[in-house]
Amino acid sequence: MNEKDEKIAALAAACRDLEGRLREMEGYYRSLLAISPEIVYRLDEEGRIVHISPAVAKLGYDPEELIGKPFEDIVHPEDRIKSRSQFVERRIGERRTKNLEIRLISKGRESYPYEIKSMIFSLSTRGQWDVPDSDITRPDKRFIGTQGVASDITARKVTEAALHISEELNAKLLDAIPDFVVRTDMEGNIEFINDIGLAMSGYERREVIGANMLSFVAPQDRDRAARNYLLMSERKLGPVEYQLVMKNGVQVQFDVNGDVLRDEQGVPYGLVFVCRNIMEKKKEREDRSRLEAQLIQARKMEAIGTLAGGIAHDFNNLLMGIQGYVSLILMDMKKDHPHYEKLKAVENHVQSGADLTMQLLGFARGGRYEMKPTDLNELIQKTAVMFGRTKKEITIRERYQKDLSPVDVDRGQIEQVLLNLFLNAAQAMPGGGDILLETENVRIDDSYVAPYEIKLGPYVRLSVIDNGLGMDEATRQRIFDPFFTTKEMGRGTGLGLASVYGIIKGHGGFINVDSEKGRGSAFHIYLPASDRAVVPEEVASPRIEAGQETILLVDDEKTIVEVTREMLAEMGYRVLVAHSGPEAIGIYEAQRETIDLVILDMIMPGMGGGEVYDRLKEIDPAVRVILSSGYSMEGMAKGIMGRGVQAFLQKPFRLEQLSMKVREALK
């Protein structure tokens, strides 16, 4: 072998060795790309994907399916202009490596945040490859594409968002804290003060930042404050009382708490102080005690109200049986019958019992709530005239606002409230006196919300003011307690003002009472104003109207079912009976085409009237229903009525009332 052949053989061996090393390096780099969590890609001069690493699988793509496609295909549409701008910068020779945040979209069209780092590739006119970021502005260089790395920054974005929220929350919390908050360095120089601190002290921020905390402590407390300051590196401070000097020179007593701020290594880098005005703290304690007392009172009234309501419900069911059978007997009895007057007396006694239960129901906030937009002025005038006829020794003076807003009320319940307040005023003036009645549109501000737990907005205020005996504070605190009375034994039940409280509370209102022994009393009632027009009150016809429709009667009380069925039958109606909610639903499903009306008891075991009504509405959206009850829990009757019930029938009811409600519902 000659020398030339030897050189050729050596060159071939070197090439084979180089090729082997290249394959080895290629395998090494492919292995690195396979395990790298970052997406490594290369684009040609038109921005098409020449190569992309397996990490793109996290977006749901196979690397091979993206080869030859524009990189923009996997960029969120809103970020493509940003991505394109970076590519153009590279193409025109911008050599700086920039980090670009864009969103890449997965195969399932979900977007994820990524950070892109890209570099250029160029080829010399001699056909030689150049390293990334080489200078392609030289005449012997040609742009042939870019290479980039895309890093998933989802976790970082979540962390940044959480940090931003945390910082924003901390800033808002510091501004919302009703205390003077100051942060200083270890020498006591102020670095931060919250807005409340500036408002309390009267200083501007530029006057405080950089000043020493001790310079704002009153001279008589400064030495003690300095000693405590030195000890704070070992323990927390406070609460310690100091006099702090405001900008106007006034010294104000504060409770001061302090603590050390430390870095991650535990090295102190600053101090934080929270200063609370002691007068504010005292006021807060008083407010808290007052609110706790009101809460205890409200819970007590609620518990007794539940008991009273349950008693009234059961008693009304008993009265319903008596009233129903008396009505049936009187229906066919002539007035000259020897027992006619006795039965009318029984009916009157039933009404007296019903009136008593109405007081219990009013206190329990579960009475006859047929809410209608009402002119309170007209209702007060009517009730005052009726009361005035029986109390000639009382002078009633009236002062009503002319453009008074309507209120949504049960007129019968509010009449009961007025009569109880008038009677209470009259009893406080045994020798006669004056009652002043006032109405006014008002808007409730924040000072009323805390103690009464009511909504802000427009209200109508009704005031009943007398010049009678008045009350001491101990009596005033108990006047709304059920069965509490200042009258002698046998002269009162003690339910009057308790029912006033319950009725007004049930209407979403509240009561204020001002009184002083020997100087009279003033009851101020607040009722939410209504934006609905006043509906004139209709006078019910006392006659009994017959009918031939089919009525489904639903009640779990056997006596109620029997007497009501007889009353309906006497008026000519065909009556179907269900003793429970599920039974009523079954009957209605089977005979809905023939049933014209449902009389539905509200309180039943298992499935109550509200649920039964909703199920009937699902079967037939046009179902006609009269809701009947001897007791309704607060808000329940109103809630069911608001869902489309035609009428409400309070037990015990007379034959005439039943007749009127049935015809009203069947219109």
Burial string for 426-446 (b: 16+ CB within 10 Å, else e) reads bbbbeeebebbbbbeebebee
Query: 10 Å Cβ neighbour count for 110?
Result: 11
Query: With 90 as the cut, is the pLDDT of residue 51 above it?
Result: no
Average pLDDT across the chain, whole number: 79
Quote the pLDDT of residue 488: 42
Query: 10 Å Cβ neighbour count for 393?
Result: 10
Reported as a pLDDT band with limits 50, 70 and 90, residue 489 is very low
Q: Which residues contact 221 (CB under 8 A, 6 or more apart)?
A: 242, 243
Query: With 80 as the cut, is the pLDDT of residue 28 above it?
Result: no
Query: 10 Å Cβ neighbour count for 349?
Result: 13
Angle between helices 340-363 and 496-506 (to 10 degrees): 60
More confident: 571 or 323: 571
Q: Position of tokens 């703290």?
A: 281
Quote the pLDDT of residue 491: 38
**Lookup: tokens for 330:** 């009187």
Share of the chain above pLDDT 70, in %: 75
Quote the pLDDT of residue 614: 92
Q: Which residues contact 25 (CB under 8 A, 6 or more apart)?
A: none
Quote the pLDDT of residue 135: 46
CA distance 59 to 78: 18
pLDDT tens-digit readout, 536-563: 766 555 577 888 999 999 998 888 888 8
Query: 10 Å Cβ neighbour count for 203?
Result: 17
Q: Which residues contact 224 (CB under 8 A, 6 or more apart)?
A: 242
Mean pLDDT over residues 605-621, rounded?
Answer: 91
Contact 211, 190 (CB under 8 A): yes
Quote the pLDDT of residue 160: 81
Quote the pLDDT of residue 3: 72
Quote the pLDDT of residue 83: 81
Contact 305, 365 (CB under 8 A): yes
**Lookup: tokens for 319:** 């009265």
Quote the pLDDT of residue 306: 65
Quote the pLDDT of residue 483: 45
Contact 54, 67 (CB under 8 A): no
Quote the pLDDT of residue 366: 47
Contact 320, 630 (CB under 8 A): yes
CA distance 629 to 650: 5
What would you report as the CA-atom Rg of the chain, rounded to the nearest whole angstrom? Answer: 43
pLDDT tens-digit readout, 532-542: 888 776 655 55
CA distance 53 to 36: 8
**Could you give the 3-state DSSP secondary structure of residue 372?**
strand
More confident: 417 or 318: 417
pLDDT tens-digit readout, 405-464: 999 988 878 888 888 898 888 888 888 889 999 999 998 876 654 445 677 889 999 999
Contact 45, 88 (CB under 8 A): no
pLDDT tens-digit readout, 81-140: 888 777 666 555 555 556 788 899 998 889 999 998 887 765 554 444 444 444 444 454
Query: With 50 as the cut, is the pLDDT of residue 570 above it?
Result: yes
Query: With 70 as the cut, is the pLDDT of residue 323 above it?
Result: yes
Quote the pLDDT of residue 155: 84
Query: With 70 as the cut, is the pLDDT of residue 304 above it?
Result: no
Quote the pLDDT of residue 303: 67
